[in-house]
Structure 1
Amino acid sequence: MRCTLGRLCLYGTVLNSVDTIEESIRSVFRPDADIVITDGGSRDGTYEKLLEISKDYNLRVYRAPGSSRGLGRQLALIRCPEGSYTAYFDLDNEYNVYFHKSIDWGMATGSPRPLGHLYSKEYLLSRGGWRDLNYAEDNELWARVGFDYYLPVVFGRPIKTVGTGLGREASRYFQGITGFTKRTLRTSLDLIRGLGLKPIDLVKLFDKSRLALLLPAYIIASLQGIYRHDKFLNNYELNFYNMLKKLKDPVKEIKADERYVVFAIPYKVAYHIGVSWIDRRLRAIGLRPYKCRQMSWGESIVGVRSLNAIEAVNDYFHFNFFEAQSCRPLEAAEER
């Protein structure tokens, strides 16, 4: 099915991010696009700030106190104009030119689901839209709805760095010990549900310190319903598999600077999918695979055109996303 949509709607959800929202919105703003934001009940002036800048950035702002990230995005998506392509963005991030180039390229394909962050509104809603999840909502959506192409290019970065993984939850999301406990439990449940995890996946993907919480949470998640969309792969693995299967060269397709062309996958996931196949898929678009340590994943396979990309990405993020000194050509690392 080919789309001939010309209208674009950018959308997202936000909670207590008054210090980052304008910088984020400024980076995605374009005169040809509507921007729709759901505020999840901010207490720090975020909602008021959005109203204040709404005319400057063609914003439509709505409140939905207590909404999860998935529900907030769904409510914003529904309010995007009919017959438009829709691209979501994270209001804690700022975006570069490749965010916009990827959108323009995706719309030009005519596909209703060209990229993981770009869908026609009607197509996405017809596949169920966003689940009411506060974590892994994007992984669940990609695994269920799918996408036709993947461009391995860095097109955004956090405006502020607040750690990684389950521990990155900042105090802006909760109040007091009770709030922290509820938030931690909700995050654990949604992680399991959104990634479609089984107990064996928990053991495979997480260290022992986190299993003490995640294994009991699995029982509750099972009662709520776990969203798994492949018999053999969990949603996290399935998405990496589909990204690799549908790789397109950003240098060729959107004239990307090769220093920003990077594909990375945790080694434990790569091992399950197939290291040799991944090697071939990366080389097919001109990327050389290395084995490097990544900040939150540990050992990873990283595909780049040259190791200059590792330093360029670290510089762009303003922290060492990859440990450059740890990188070795994959074939040499495998022989050790």
Structure 2
Amino acid sequence: MVLLSITITAKNEAPVIDKVLNNLIKQLNDINHEMILIDNWSSDNTFQILKKYENDHIKVFRYKGSKGSARNFALKKADGKYVMALDADQVYLNLDKFLRDYFSRYSSYSVKIGRSSFPIISPKELLMNVGGWRDLQFAEDWDLWFRLAEACKYIYLIDYDWVFGEHIRSHKNNYSLISKILKYMLKYRDLYIVGLPIRPQNIYNKFFYQLGMVLSFFKNEKKIVYNCTKYLEIPTDKIESEMDWDLQFHYNLIRYQLLTCKNKPIFSEVLSKFENYLKRNYSL
């Protein structure tokens, strides 16, 4: 049986995908793994590049859909006991060290690390049980994390920045005005569907948020009111205003599970590490 399936969904990543994949392959020689590579209907030659890597351990597919549905397609194609979903524009480092930590201490949970570019590592069965990713283009990861937290199976590990190398995004800066407008419309539609309490501050983002709410009525994926999202903005004397919303929400997801789940020791341990990190890095 395959121990670990590494899934990557890529769209128009031709300038960077070779670098990302070659870096990954070098780190995985001693791990029983497979790779599931999905080209999400790129308009460049990303699919042709991915096909060069195809072998008995690397499967390549083409799929057309949202980022969330593409991730879910990869999940269903994976044969591993565990699934590690990664991004196609991020160089990862020290994965062997991280995987030792995960398998020795957290392997019955779904784990997220870093501020971006690491969607999840999890038992495949757990991801399937909560429904995997929904058909969303944005915030599809938060939507999954909320469902995992309500199942008492979500952990955010702080202070793992040493896993992240270069995040290569310069090839994504040449969007047309129409593409940028469409992106904002879909972004705020999906933020509303997920229930992520992000409140736009300027008039333009407020306009797109209102437009996104309207667009959500025409989306098959409807808004779900997750219990845990009510806890995301709960104030705490341990978090100062300088702490951004991303870390605050992850912190409160751990607090939510500590308060509502039976298996409290693991969440108490993770929360303690989180707070020690905050003390070292913020004015607490």
Q: Identify unmatched segments of 5+ residues in structure 2.
A: 113-119, 234-245, 259-266
1:131 to 117, 131, 134: 134
Aligned equivalent of 2:10 = 14
User: How far off its partner does 1:178 sit?
Assistant: 4.8
Aligned equivalent of 2:205 = 210
The 1:177–1:84 alpha-carbon spacing in structure 2 relative to 1, beyond 3 Å, is same
User: How far off its partner does 1:20 sit?
Assistant: 1.0
Provide the rounded CA distance (Å) in 2 between the counterparts of 1:36 and 1:6.
Answer: 12
Alignment of 1:74-89 (within 5 A): 74-81=72-79, 84-89=81-86
RMSD over aligned Cα, in angstroms?
A: 3.1
The 1:85–1:185 alpha-carbon spacing in structure 2 relative to 1, beyond 3 Å, is same
Provide the rounded CA distance (Å) in 2 between the counterparts of 1:158 and 1:229.
Answer: 34
Matched, 1:106 2:102: yes
- Please say if residues 188 and 217 of structure 1, whose CA atoms lie closer than 8 Å, have aligned partners that are also in contact: yes
Aligned equivalent of 2:192 = 192
User: How far off its partner does 1:43 sit?
Assistant: 1.8
Deviations 1:98-128 (A, max 9, x none): x332223222336432413111112211110
Q: Aligned pairs, how many?
A: 242
Aligned equivalent of 1:330 = 283
The 1:17–1:6 alpha-carbon spacing in structure 2 relative to 1, beyond 3 Å, is closer
| SS at structure 1 position matched to 2:54 | helix
Provide the rounded CA distance (Å) in 1 between the counterparts of 2:108 and 2:62.
Answer: 28
Aligned equivalent of 1:241 = 252
Provide the rounded CA distance (Å) in 1 between the counterparts of 2:58 and 2:47.
Answer: 12
The 1:248–1:103 alpha-carbon spacing in structure 2 relative to 1, beyond 3 Å, is farther
Deviates more, 1:84-93 or 1:109-118: 109-118
Q: Identify unmatched segments of 5+ residues in structure 1.
A: 163-167, 250-277, 290-302, 305-328, 332-336
Provide the rounded CA distance (Å) in 2 between the counterparts of 1:126 and 1:282.
Answer: 28
Aligned equivalent of 1:72 = 70
Amino acid in the other structure paired with 1:42: S
| SS at structure 1 position matched to 2:226 | coil
User: How far off its partner does 1:177 sit?
Assistant: 5.3
Deviations 1:205-252 (A, max 9, x none): 544431121123223325642233126235966533134664767xxx
TM-score for the superposition, normalised by structure 2: 0.72
Q: Sequence identity, in percent?
A: 18
| SS at structure 2 position matched to 1:50 | helix
Larger-gyration structure (1/2): 1
User: How far off its partner does 1:49 sit?
Assistant: 0.4
TM-score for the superposition, normalised by structure 1: 0.62
The 1:49–1:247 alpha-carbon spacing in structure 2 relative to 1, beyond 3 Å, is farther
